[in-house]
Amino acid sequence: MRLLFVHSDHLEFEAREEAGPDDLAETEGVPMEGRMEECVTAFVSVESDDEADLDGVVANATDELRDVTGQLNTNRVVLYPYAHLSDDLASPDAAKAVMRDLESELEGEGYEVLRAPFGWYKAFEVACKGHPLSELSRHVSAHRDEAGGAAGAGDGEGEPDREPS
Amino acid sequence: MRLLFVHSDHLEFEAREEAGPDDLAETEGVPMEGRMEECVTAFVSVESDDEADLDGVVANATDELRDVTGQLNTNRVVLYPYAHLSDDLASPDAAKAVMRDLESELEGEGYEVLRAPFGWYKAFEVACKGHPLSELSRHVSAHRDEAGGAAGAGDGEGEPDREPS
Ligand SMILES: [Mg+2]
Structural domain for B104, as ranges: 2-20+31-138
Residues of B in contact with A3 (CB under 8 A): none
**Of residues B82, B121, B165, nearest to A130 (C-beta):** B121
Give the model confidence (pLDDT) of B76-126 as tens digits.
Answer: 999 999 999 999 999 999 999 999 999 999 999 999 999 999 999 999 999
Give the model confidence (pLDDT) of B114-157 as tens digits.
Answer: 999 999 999 999 999 999 999 999 999 987 554 333 333 333 33
Q: CB–CB of A121 and B127 under 8 A?
A: no
Residue A165: the pLDDT is 56
Kindly state whether residue A96 falls inside one of the protein's structural domains: yes
Interface of A with B in 86-105 (CB under 8 A): 87, 89, 92, 95
Shortest CA distance from B10: residue in chain A: A125
- State how many domains chain A has: 1
CATH number where B94 lies: 3.50.80.10
Kindly state whether residue A78 falls inside one of the protein's structural domains: yes
Kindly state whether residue A161 falls inside one of the protein's structural domains: no
- Is residue B108 less than 8 Å (CB to CB) from chain A? no
What is the Cα–Cα distance from B101 to B92, expressed in whole angstroms?
14
For β-strands A135-139 and A120-128, DSSP reports them as: unpaired
Other beta carbons within 10 Å of A132: 13
Query: How many beta-carbon pairs below 8 A join chains A and B?
Result: 118
A144: pLDDT confidence band, cut at 50, 70 and 90? low
CA A92-A47-A161 angle, 5° bins: 135
Other beta carbons within 10 Å of B146: 6
Beta strands in B46-134 (DSSP E): 76-81, 112-115, 120-128
What is the Cα–Cα distance from B101 to B79, expressed in whole angstroms?
11
Instruction: Report percent pLDDT > 90 for chain B.
Output: 83
Kindly state whether residue A13 falls inside one of the protein's structural domains: yes
Kindly state whether residue A68 falls inside one of the protein's structural domains: yes
Kindly state whether residue B68 falls inside one of the protein's structural domains: yes
Kindly state whether residue A159 falls inside one of the protein's structural domains: no
Mean pLDDT of B57-79: 98
Shortest Cα distance, chain A CAs vs residue B30, angstroms: 14
Kindly state whether residue A146 falls inside one of the protein's structural domains: no
B165 Cβ neighbours under 8 A, 6+ residues apart: A19, A45, A81, A82, A83, A89, A92, A95, A118, A119
